[in-house]
Amino acid sequence: MKLIKLIFLLPLIISCGSAIDKQVKSNTDRKIIGYAAGYEKYDFSLIDATKLTHINFAFANIVEGKAKFELETDAAKIATLMTLKKQNPNLKVLYSVGGWVWSDQFSSMAAYESTRKKFAASCVELLLEHGFDGVDLDWEYPGQRAEDNVFRPSDKDNFTLLLADIRKALDAQGQKDKTHYLLTIATGADQVYIDHTDLGQAHKYLDFINVMCYDFYQGWMYQTGHHANLYPSNKEKYGGNSGVEAIDRHIKAGVPVNKLVMGIPFYGRQWEKVASADAVLYGSANEGGIIVSYWEILDKLKSGKYEKRYDESAKASYLWNATDKIFVSWETPKDIKLKAEYIKEKELGGAMFWEYSLDKDQELLNTLFESLK
C-alpha cells in the first residue's frame, strides 16, 4: 500500500521539486551587483555580502598596456573583499578597469591585435594574483569624448575584438582551473553609446551587461533635471533620458534581456543658484549637478529647508530648497522599489548600484534586496 501511494505521489513530488528548483534558479539568477570604490575611505569589512551576488572593485588602470592597480591601499582592500566570501560562499568578486578618469588608454590599447592580446593576458594575471572571479570593463566611452580620453572611429569594432580576446584568455585559464571566469562591462545609457558600439556582437563574449541608468543630468549641465528617472518625464524640456528607454535601446541593439542589469545610483545630483523658484525642475542654474551621496542628502533633510517633491510621470524624486535655491535629484527607497518591480516584470538579469559607501545604514541596499527577492 505504501509503495502504491509512493508511485502515485512520485509525479507530484517530481513536479513540486521541479517548481522549487525553477524558483531557486530564478532567485539565484537575479543579480545584485555592488561597485566598491577603492579610493573611498570606507571599511570594506562592513559590507553585507549576504545581500549581494557580485562585488565589482573599482578601479584598475591601464598602465603601459596592462591592467594594474595603482593605489597603495588596493591590495589590502581587495583582500578584505575576499574574506566576505565567508559570509556568502556564492559571492563573486570582480575587478573593474577604467571608469570616468582611467578610460584614456582604452582606445590606443584596443587599436591593435598585439596590444589587445597583451592587455587580455594582463587581465588574467591580475585576476590570478588576487583571486578574482572575473573582469569588468568600464570604458567611458568607445568612439566618443569623455574625461580627456583618446578616441577613434574604429573603437566600435575594436571594442568587440578586445572583448573577444579577453574572453579567449579567461576561458583558456578557466579550462586549466576548471572554472568559469566572468567578463562583464558597464555601458552608457544613451543612443550615442549604442551607436558607437556593436552590442549585438559584443554581448556574445559577456556574461552580463551593467547599464548605467543614471547621470542623465549631471555636472556639466547647467539646468536641473532627473538624473536617474525610471520613465520619461512629461515635464522634460531638453530631450532627456530614462531607465526604461536605456534598457529598450540595449534590447533593440541585440542584447538578450536576461543579460541586462539595471544600474541604480546610491547618490543624487545637486544644482545650486537655481534661477527661478517657479521652474525648479528643468530650470536654469549657475552651478552644475555635483554628486551628493545618499547619506549626505539625509543629513541635508535634517535642516528643515528641503521640500520633498515627486514627478509622477517620471517616477522620480527630487528636493527643493527655496531658501538657498538648491535642487537635488535623488534616489529614494520608493524609487528603488519601483525599479525592482520593473526588473522583475521585464525579466532582466538584476540590478547594479554605484556605489556601496554612498548608502546610509544599508537603507537603499536593504530595499533593493527585499524588493528583488
Give the DSSP per-residue string, 126-180: HHHHHT-SEEEEE-S-TTS--SS----TTHHHHHHHHHHHHHHHHHHHHHHHTS-
1 inside domain: no
DSSP for 203-221 reads: GGG-SEEEE----SS-TT-
For residue 229, being part of any structural domain is answered with yes
The rounded distance, in Å, linking the Cα atoms of 207 and 224 is 36
- Predicted confidence at residue 5, as pLDDT, reads 31
Please report whether residue 294 resides in a domain: no
CATH code at position 61:
3.20.20.80
- Biggest CA-to-CA distance, the chain: 84
Q: Quote the CA–CA distance of 124 and 370 in Å, as a whole number.
A: 35
pLDDT (0 to 100) of residue 163: 98
Catalytic residue from among 140, 245, 331, 355: 140
Q: Which residues of the chain have pLDDT under 50?
A: 1-28
- Which distant-in-sequence residues (6+ apart) come within 8 Å of 16 by Cβ? none
200 domain residue, yes or no: yes
What's the pLDDT score for residue 148? 81
Residue 109 structural domain: 31-265+336-372
Determine, yes or no, domain membership for 16: no
Contact at 8 Å (CB) between 110 and 161?
yes
Instruction: Give me the number of domains the chain comprises.
Output: 1
Examine the residue annotation and report whether 140 is marked as an active-site residue of this protein: yes
CB 260 within 8 A of CB 349: yes
| Rounded Cα–Cα distance for residues 233 and 72 (Å) | 44
What pLDDT does 25 receive?
39
- Does any domain span residue 15? no
**Residue 7 in domain:** no
Asked whether residue 366 is assigned to any structural domain, the reply reads yes
End-to-end, the C-alpha distance of the chain in Å comes to 41
